[in-house]
Amino acid sequence: MRTTVRRTVLTASAVTLALAVTACGGGDQDGGDGGDAKAKGGGGPDKPAAKALTAAELEKLVVTTDDLEDHKVQKPGKDDVFEAEALSVERAECEPVARVLSALPAGDPAASAQRLVVQESAAAKKGMPSMEELADMTEEEAKEATIDSLDITKTMTSLWSYDADGAERTLGTLREAGEKCAGGFAMTIDGEKQQVTKVTEEKLAVGEDAVAWTVGTKTDDEPVETKVVVFRQGTTLAGFSSFNIAAISRGEAFEQPTAVIDAQAAKLG
């Protein structure tokens, strides 16, 4: 389960993963609105390109335990994250989805920060049932109690910052990749082969623009669903790759980690 769990926020099968490329800017210098404005003396100086936030600035903006009630926030350990070199994707156009699914940076950011956010249900906080408790249960009750103790949602939360319009273009690439790869694709992460079975779009209004998916995967015939969200605020993208262990065990759907997403959006302003 450790490898599968790491894969999902991570991918868990996790936080990796998008862009309807929208052209930004005005007309050319020789014609169109831009040329007319300059000819009339109304153009003014060019606006300086937006700058990426630094790693130090992102560290101040990434969510903390103080920002989230009933959540634990920590820096991910080396066993929680992947190296970019560990990922390979059968179809190149699907790599952006695979990257954010695996909580790897989208595109090529100038700086990044990352946290692992954990939320436990009341049953999970109690831990696994004792042997004495299990002995008094039916087989079905014991199974359900054990799964209830695993009702833990893990969300790899990432901030990536880009120069100029890099964040906007990267989000566009992600969106385009999600559309092209909706039917699934094969990938290998850290030596483990996985089949992405579907990339299903979800609606989520957050930030200045956002993509949200439920990504289905199979590893050794074990089905897993991961919630993946990337939203943009200025020159920064916030990425989330989330899974629930009990939901995986039961093969059930679970909700987007909206509390984490909303808290991060509030900090980014």
- Tell me the pLDDT of the chain averaged across its residues: 84
Q: Residue 37: what residue type?
A: A
The whole-model pTM stands at 0.79
Q: How many CB atoms lie within 10 A of CB 211?
A: 30
Dist. CA 175–CA 211, nearest whole Å: 6
Per-domain residue ranges for the chain? 2-13+49-124+153-268
Read off the pLDDT of residues 57-93 as tens digits, 9 standing for 90 and up: 999 999 999 999 999 999 999 888 999 999 999 999 9
Read off the pLDDT of residues 198-235 as tens digits, 9 standing for 90 and up: 999 999 999 999 999 999 998 777 889 999 999 999 99
Q: What is the pLDDT of residue 18?
A: 31
Read off the pLDDT of residues 28-60 as tens digits, 9 standing for 90 and up: 433 444 444 333 344 445 667 789 999 999 999
State the average pLDDT over residues 119-137.
87
Q: What is the pLDDT of residue 126?
A: 85
Class of the CATH domain delimited by 2-13+49-124+153-268 = alpha beta
* SS3 label, residue 211: strand
Q: What is the pLDDT of residue 245?
A: 87
Dist. CA 17–CA 102, nearest whole Å: 7
Q: What is the pLDDT of residue 47?
A: 66
For residue 178, list its beta bridge partners: none
